[in-house]
Each structure stands twice: as C-alpha cells, then as structure tokens.
A = this chain, B = another copy of it.
C-alpha cells in the first residue's frame, strides 16, 4: 500500500470513529465535533473550500486581508440599542453563558484563516440567520453552511450525524429535522455570502437592515 492510500484509510477510520461516537453522544459534544472536523479537513478539502470562496470578490478580499474578529467586549456591546447586531450578539453570548473565542495566534496561511474565521463567526451566523442554538437551529445552520460553502465536509457530516441519530433513536424527530435541513439550505442559497464579512464594523447596524442587505429575510 502506498503512503497516500494509507493516509486515506487512516482518515476514513478516524472519521467513522468520531462520527459514530457523535451519533451515540448527547447533542452538543463540541470536543468530538472538533475531532471530526480535524479528521475531515485534509489538505484536499481545505483547498477545495478556499478555491470555492475565492470565486467571489468578498472571499478574495477576505483571503487578502484575513479579517479577525479581535477582542470582543460583550458588556460594551450589550449597551447598544436592542435592535443592533452588537446587542443581539452580546445578549446571545451572555444568555447562553458563552465566551467569545479567544483570538489565538494562527499561522499565516489560508487554511488557518479559513478555520479561525469560520469558528469565531459561528455565533454571529446564528444571530443574522435567526437560527437558534437548540438542535433544530443547529441543523438549519448546518444546511445553511453547505448552501453558502458547498465543499464543507464538516457540515455535511453533521447533517448526516443528525439523520442517523434520528433513525436510531428518535423517529418522531424526522419531520422537523428534514424541514430544518430544507429551510437552512433554501435560506443559505438565497442569502448573499457571509464568509469574509468584517462583522466588527457592523455592531451598531440595526439587524433588520443588515438582514435586508444580506437577503436573509424569511423564505
């Protein structure tokens, strides 16, 4: 067996291991999601995502400028008017006991930026799409990610996880699950690209106005 075949088999083995453990685990096992993400994001997948995102001018600019969210002062954002992105984001984070991801030092390459940007903007995507952080909202957002960034293996795998978990444990959930997939996909296709937006310049913007500009109003 050559080295490449061996690497692929190892990757597949790890993906199946983390995937099946996620199906068995209660929802929200973020450490395991991180492991599944690492196993799926091989150089080929990362390259495909970067190439996909570079097709849009906003994506091109993002890979040139590599905007980072920077330090976020939630208490300060929480003083903004209640209809602004900043207030809603801060309120969401405080209410759910979440801390903004620390702006860790990342390597200066496209792949590191891609992963950091997607991670640190995840909760902002929840706010602008109005998808909640319960399991249905997460599924809607998973399908939304695939609609926005087609070759994104983690979110395809997470939708698959939710489908298989439902088949095994919770058949009553089939209809809302499929409605959530369809809704997330449809809204993600309709919306303008979210990847690469400088969110920290938009905290004071009224959410309705922002959603209007991004074509994020209900489908």
Q: Which A residues contact B (CB, under 8 angstroms)?
A: 11-12, 15-16, 19-20, 23-24, 40, 45, 48, 143, 146-147, 150-154, 156-157, 159-161, 163-164, 166-168, 171-172, 174-175, 178, 181-182, 185-186
Contacts and interface: CB of A to CB of B under 8 A. Distances in A.
A167 B20 contact: no
B16 A167 contact: no
Contacts of A182: 181-182, 185-186
B186 A172 contact: no
Contacts of A166: 156
Contact of A40 (B150, B153, B167): B167
Each complex incorporates copies of this chain amounting to: 2
A153 B171 contact: yes
A191 to B, nearest CB: 15
A163 B156 contact: yes
Contact of A164 (B147, B160, B185): B160
Contacts of A147: 178
Contact of A24 (B12, B40, B151, B168): B12
Contacts of A146: 174, 178
Contact of A174 (B24, B151, B167): B151
Given A20-B16, A178-B185, A181-B181, A168 B150 contact: no
A143 B40 contact: no
